[in-house]
Amino acid sequence: MSRPTPPPAPTGSGATTRLVDLSHVVRHGRTTYPGSPGPHSEDHLSREESRTHYAPGTEFHIGRDAYLLFGANRH
């Protein structure tokens, strides 16, 4: 999925700043960086399991995504 690049925004000094979108779709098992473990998706609470905890006729799904980053900078 690609997003259109916005035009450069003018700044007070007359210079321009260009915004570059580096986001990407993260999917279960996809290699995001060579050598790093890929993202992991799993059920936290399945529809079947939710039926045993809540009122009759109530069901829902809660998913959990885990993504480990090494060497992330502090912002």
Domain boundaries, the chain: 37-70
pLDDT at 1 over 90: no
CA distance 51 to 42: 18
Is-above-0.75 flag for pTM? no
Is residue 75 over pLDDT 60? Answer: no
Label residue 57 by pLDDT band (50, 70, 90).
very high
Looking at the chain, the whole-number percentage of residues with pLDDT higher than 90 is 24
Mean pLDDT of 33-44: 78
Would you say residue 24 has pLDDT above 80?
no
**Cα–Cα dist 7/66, whole Å:** 34
Contacts of 43 (CB under 8 A, 6+ apart): 49, 61, 62, 63, 64
pLDDT surpassing 60 at residue 73: no
